[in-house]
Homo-oligomer: A and B are copies of this chain.
Amino acid sequence: MFQSYTIKDIAKALNLSTSTVSRALNGSHEIGAETKKLVLEYAEKINYRPNPIALSLKEQKSHSIGVVVCEVANNYFSQAINGIESIAYNSGYHVIITQTHESAERELANVQHLLSRQVDGLLVSLSAQTVNTSIYEELHSKGFPIVFFDRIAHNIQTHRIVLDNFVAAFEATESLINSGFTRIAHLTSTSNLLISQERFKGFMAALQKHGLNFPPAYFRQCNHGGMLMTEVETVVKELMELPVPPDAILSTNDRLTTHCISILKGSGYKIPEDVALIGFTNSDVAESFDPPLTVVRQPAFQMGQMATELLIKTIESKQRVENYTTEVLAAELICRESSQCISPIN
């Protein structure tokens, strides 16, 4: 089925040995200029393409990298994948994407699948339900290249690309405070995720700086990271039906944010009059929302690119990489009406 030429075909046609052809093709120096030219021209003529599978078998590497994310259909991740691919393809790697759907179980299955596919490295963003990261620890300790991005494992010392979650949440919260909101609720995913913890810390720091009170009831988690609409609905409604409901909400992930606005409106709350909203999301259409949504936007594309660059560098480094970097990127706070921003950046 759709056969292509092999090195053997060239050898036969040119009356050479396969090794000579191989050398010519690989620009070896121990080869006659004549022969080399001959081979190269012929290869060009028949449009020879080396068989990557044979190469993989030989080199013991697949030239592919595995990606573990919760969902492709998530603005942040689809943009990140865009960045991942842009680098990977230029470096001759291909990308195998797997989705956890926020399940730890599926995450493990995906990693195992990717390993059995002999990926040369892993780009991972943990699922919201993942608590046990021993598979990564084990792999990492064996020297297998892994780069975490966004949702990193705090206990594994490898390359990481993260948002400055603390500052992002701090600034978003402070912007709410500056707009006059004082009863700010915090809507988040599971606290398994380090990003959730950091965002919460940044949030609290802003409240503290401004001497604001934070009733425990204003802290609400969705264990499915927003994948379950009903879960978000319960949480948001309970929040708004509190004796003293919040006058603003900071929502810390994509799904949560989009569900939150839809639920609030569906329940008849006016935004920002009844309750203001700032959300972490990479949606391209937040501007078209009713009201236009103030968002914390991550440099997803760039994060994907950086993660991939680091991963490929690790894969290709001859000696084992020992000094790992943690790149911290800044989020962008885009002020719009949903939070009555004082000084609209955008």
Interface residues of A (CB under 8 A from B): 1-2, 49, 51-54, 56-57, 60-62, 71-75, 78-79, 81-82, 85, 89, 94-99, 113, 115-118, 139, 142-144, 258, 261-262, 265, 283-285, 287-292
Contact = CB atoms under 8 A, between A and B. Distances in A.
B144 A2 contact: yes
A285 B290 contact: no
A82 B97 CA distance: 10
A52 B118 contact: yes
A74 B78 CA distance: 8
Contacts of A117: 52, 94
A113 to B, nearest CB: 7
A73 B82 contact: yes
The 7 closest A-B pairs by CB, nearest first: A290-B290, A73-B78, A49-B116, A2-B144, A53-B56, A72-B78, A262-B288
Contacts of A290: 288-292
17 contacts: A1-B61, A2-B143, A52-B118, A53-B53, A53-B57, A53-B118, A71-B82, A72-B72, A72-B85, A78-B78, A81-B97, A89-B98, A89-B113, A94-B117, A95-B96, A258-B285, A285-B285
A272 B139 CA distance: 56
B285 A116 contact: no
A118 B56 contact: no
Contact of A75 (B73, B81, B116, B139): B73
A113 B64 CA distance: 13
Contact of A258 (B78, B96, B142, B284): B284
A72 B82 contact: yes
A284 B118 CA distance: 35
Contacts of A99: 82, 85
A264 to B, nearest CB: 10
Contacts of A51: 57, 118
Contacts of A75: 73
Looking at A61, A94, A98, the one whose CB has the most chain B CB atoms below 10 A away is: A94
A116 B52 contact: yes
A258 B285 CA distance: 7
Given A2-B142, A2-B143, A54-B57, A81 B72 contact: yes
A228 to B, nearest CB: 14
Nearest to A266: B287
A288 B281 CA distance: 14
A74 to B, nearest CB: 8
